[in-house]
Structure 1
């Protein structure tokens, strides 16, 4: 009887030990994939309202962005990971755009260069911080429909992300991804009234492999990531508008050496803000946003976006 009683006590202990190991592995996988995602979500492909409005041939734009994001919770497969898991980022983006014609169609070849820093806080403080340059982005909008009389435009935009950014496989935080990426986006703008405009965007991002992921040089793969965005703009004057946007992202599950991270996204967020041409050739845009719901990854508690644009 004593022997049976001892085995009965050991079995629950063994189960608890296995559950604890599984929980630690789950947290480790969730954290690794969330950190990788956060490195790029700092400059995720979130459009500003009006971005797909074409300008005359020969026009150039110099654009500078600043984005501050505070993340205060980590989720995996719908469950919040215990602890104070915080990650802040301060990211700048330098962008140059040139408008021209191709086969009678307006296009605007451009490049975007992210830079800045990531800083882990709370229980993640031991991960430290990272600073440097992100991956160079090449893109161009191709306008298939241009009807300025009704403020109606339809465009397609391919983006290519080059693995040129700062990356160290031995660091948990990186500004670069060490992999190629490609995004294809559709954009539609229409005037609902003389003062109210609707912007709709839908895109898919596909990922190359990172074959030097983590200290063991594992292989990171990721499923396609999908996103839809909608903006409403109300023109207070010809130079000043207020705006509100909604974003829904899904997909993008990662695998490290074939092992799933259980990190498929199904996340929603909002942004509100204003845009002002303080002179005919210069504009500022301010937006504030938060995540509404997060299936996997970090929750953005606060996002502050600032954009300065100069036409020349």
Structure 2
């Protein structure tokens, strides 16, 4: 029983993370997100992300480029029951900085500040803790609270709303192995002044698939290997394709451990490959500290 509760506390920390400037965003998950916490439990978490992007792909062509991304994401979440089922709501307010940006030798601006707020909610359609089996349906709303300047190439904010629907779940593979999978679709409103001249910016629907295989090294330490694939998110301004989209694949490796009974530390390394539009994140690092109360 204690091991199952610890696994639950390690997860349940789904967040929305920026991919890179010029692309759409994705609703990213972390290991054991689909293990519900007891009703009445709350989470205060802090994410720190740092990414190094080397190279840009536009319209199928590889171009020299670079970009450094740094984000800090405070997050609050609360668990309760809805119609007799576990449920949760969450809010994230990102802060970030884009720096050292360059495309084909041309320097880019370096924006920083408040990002777009993300509000989410979900309910567990299936929850069998004895078998570590669950299925979750979740929805996300992103609000254009971030800084945006249509005259600049790079921005922290998007100046538009978006909504996403996500279904995910987990199942036990063995006593110590757990498999998780998630699919989602994100839909974007138009940006009515994407270039400062009144042209409409549009972004196609972004689809993603993510999975993790997690091994319990001990009752308080877990190692996870993950894979993600993103498709869509093609961008255009005034009906003209920009070449930026979110077609890419990613591998992940993470470790979760308990610092004490109610505090977890999670670290993850990510690497993009087969990028077909936008910056390629060669190295991504994330650290998350979460407190449960």
TM-score by length of 1: 0.84
Q: Is the 8 A contact 2:195 2:237 kept in 1?
A: no
Unaligned runs of 5+ in 2: 1-19
Aligned to 1:76: 58
Counterpart among 54, 65, 81 of residue 47 in structure 2:
65
The Cα shift of 1:280 comes to 1.3
Name the counterpart of 2:88: 108
What SS does the corresponding residue of 1:149 show, helix, strand or coil?
A: helix
Structure with the greater alpha carbon radius of gyration: 1
* The one of 278, 281, 284 aligned to 1:303: 284
Matched positions, count? 273
Aligned to 2:4: none
Among residues 108, 114, 117, which one is paired with 1:136 in the alignment?
A: 117
Residue 54 (structure 1) aligned with residue 36 (structure 2): yes
Q: Contact 2:102/2:108 (CA < 8 Å) preserved in 1?
A: no
Q: Is contact 1:73-1:86 (8 Å) kept? A: yes
- Give the Cα–Cα distance (whole angstroms) in 2 for the partners of residues 222 and 122 of structure 1: 23
The structure with the greater share of residues assigned to strand is 2
What is the CA deviation profile of residues 162-208 of structure 1, one whole-angstrom value per residue up to 9, with x for unaligned ones?
Answer: 11111111222211100000110111111111100001000000000
Work out whether residues 42 and 76 of structure 2, in 8 Å CA contact, stay in contact via their aligned partners in 1: yes
Tell me how far apart the structure 2 counterparts of residues 193 and 280 of structure 1 sit (CA, whole Å).
Answer: 25
Q: What's the counterpart of residue 99 of structure 2?
A: 119
- 1:275 partnered with 2:256: yes
Q: Secondary structure at the match of 2:71?
A: strand
Report the Cα distance in structure 2 between the residues aligned to 1:180 and 1:282, rounded to whole angstroms. Answer: 33
Deviations 1:22-53 (A, max 9, x none): xxxxxxxxxxxx7431xx64xx4221011121
1:21 maps to: none
TM-score, structure 2 as length reference = 0.89
Q: Alignment partner for residue 36 of structure 1, among 22, 44, 49?
A: 22
Q: 1:121/1:260 Cα in 2 relative to 1: closer, same or farther (>3 Å)?
A: closer
> SS state of the match for residue 243, structure 1?
strand
The one of 50, 69, 72 aligned to 1:92: 72
Give the corresponding residue for 2:126. 145
Return closer, same or farther for 1:198/1:182 CA change in 2, 3 Å cut-off.
Answer: same
Contact kept in structure 2, 1:134 and 1:175, CA below 8 Å: yes
CA-atom RMSD, angstroms?
Answer: 1.5
1:216 aligned onto 2:197: yes
Deviates more, 1:113-122 or 1:144-153: 113-122
Once the two structures are superposed, what CA deviation does each residue of 1:186-240 show, in whole Å capped at 9, x if it has no partner?
A: 1111111110000100000000001121231321011101000010000001110
- Give the distance between the partners of 1:91 and 1:262, measured in 2 at CA: 25
Do 1:78 and 1:294's aligned partners in 2 also have CA atoms closer than 8 Å? no
Maintained 8 Å contact 1:77/1:264 = no
1:170 aligns with 2:156: no
Cα 1:126/1:165, change in 2 over 3 Å: same
> Alpha-carbon deviation of 1:122?
4.6
Q: Distance in 1 between matches of 2:282 and 2:172?
A: 32
Unaligned runs of 5+ in 1: 1-33
Distance in 1, matches of 2:44 and 2:118, equals 15
Runs of 4+ in structure 1 over 6 Å off: none
Distance 1:294 1:105 in 2: 39
